[in-house]
Amino acid sequence: MSGELLLQVTVSGLTNGFLYALIGLGLAVVYKGSAIINAAQGDFAIVGAIVTVLFTQSAGMPYWVSIVIGVMAAALLGGLMEVACIRPMLRLKASEESILLATVGLTFLIGAVVLVVVGKAAYFLPPIGGEAQVQVGSATLQRHAVIVVAAALLVVAALAAFYKYTHLGRSMVAASSDADGAVSIGINVPLMRTFTFMLGGLIGGIAGVLQTPLIGVSFAMGIAITLKGVAATVLGGLVNPMGAVAGGLIIGLAEALAVFLFNSGYQNVVTMGLLIVIMIAMPNGLFVTARRRGG
């Protein structure tokens, strides 16, 4: 086992880890704001990426403009999801299992729409920052990977600032932690939930745009992406955004190690196996010591 190879593997594992962290972050945001685990989170990434692809390739727009449109589209999808699906279910007092099942159905639906619009093929986007490469010790990285890391950290910081310093952010926190109290001070709780989903969509869209240059995007990828994000966020403690980042990195590294030691085909097996183990052994994540049952 050469040290160089190990370093290379670690570096790519961390890069992927930040991507998983972003998906996990989106999941954590939605869960924190609505106590709902959205199985269609990965589809925000897919839609964000596909819309960006369409605007770049078919409409020939500048890359950055397409990215903005793509991410906005994902955010809008999140809002639509909340209004059209979640809100009616909550009004009908559906159980958390029903809602989860509905989001699983949405994964299928969104995948079907993408299939009809762009077909079965996998699409790629040009790496952000061009084809340039960067040296880290003996390992080489695409500049894009560095941008992934930077973007992920930026999103985390922006999110923290948003929740703490903006009126909207604080309202969303209030609405999710104490709905009755929030209503009494004039906060529109359902609207806050819509914004929560839009935020989840936004973060998911960003993740999609960032990951497509590396691994491409296709119609059926949604659930696999979601599950990796779930692994990241559960490891990090479900509502803790920083935890999602840490969790994502651990998952990314574990996966890279698995690829290194075994065949690359086993990476999903390893990450999914890790998810199961985490949920059973550490339902509250690595960073919380309270013994409550997860779920």
Partner 1 sequence: MDRSLLPDSVRAGSASTRHSGGRGLALVLTCVSLAAAPLLLSVHYVDLLVFAALLAISGLGVGFLLGQAGIINLAQVAFYGIGAYATAHVTVAWNLPGLLGLLLGVVISAAFALVMGLPLLRLSGHFLALATLALMVIVTQLFFEWDWLTGGSLGIGGIPKISLFGWTFDTPMKFYYFAWPIALLCFWMLSNIADGRPGLAMRAMRDSPEAAEVMAVDSTALRTKLFVLSAILGSISGSLFAHYVGYISVESFTLERTIVMIMAPVIGGVRNPWSALPGAIFLSFLPELLSPLGEVYRILFGLGLVLVIILFPQGLLGIANWRRVK
* Site residues for partner 1 per CB under 8 A: 37, 39, 85, 88-89, 92-98, 100-102, 104-113, 115-116, 220, 223-224, 227, 230, 234, 263, 265-266, 268-269, 272-273, 275-276, 279-280, 283, 293-295
What H or E segment, with its residue span, contains residue 136? strand 133-136
Tell me the closest approach of the beta carbon of residue 226 to partner 1, in angstroms. 9
Using CA atoms, how far apart are residues 174 and 180, in angstroms rounded to an integer? 9
- SS3 sequence of 207-258: HHHHHHHHHCECCCCHHHHHHHHHHHHHHHCCCCHHHHHHHHHHHHHHHHHH
Tell me the closest approach of the beta carbon of residue 216 to partner 1, in angstroms. 18
Minimum CB distance to partner 1 smaller for 141 or for 251: 251
Minimum CB distance to partner 1 smaller for 58 or for 95: 95
Using CA atoms, how far apart are residues 184 and 178, in angstroms rounded to an integer? 10
Tell me the closest approach of the beta carbon of residue 286 to partner 1, in angstroms. 16
Which residue pairs from 87-96 have beta carbons closer than 8 angstroms and sit at least 24 positions apart in sequence?
A: 87/190, 87/193, 87/194, 96/35, 96/36
What would the two tokens of residue 274 be?
């890790």
Bridge partners for 142 per DSSP: 133
Minimum CB distance to partner 1 smaller for 15 or for 271: 271
Minimum CB distance to partner 1 smaller for 11 or for 230: 230
Tell me the closest approach of the beta carbon of residue 131 to partner 1, in angstroms. 31
Tell me the closest approach of the beta carbon of residue 76 to partner 1, in angstroms. 18
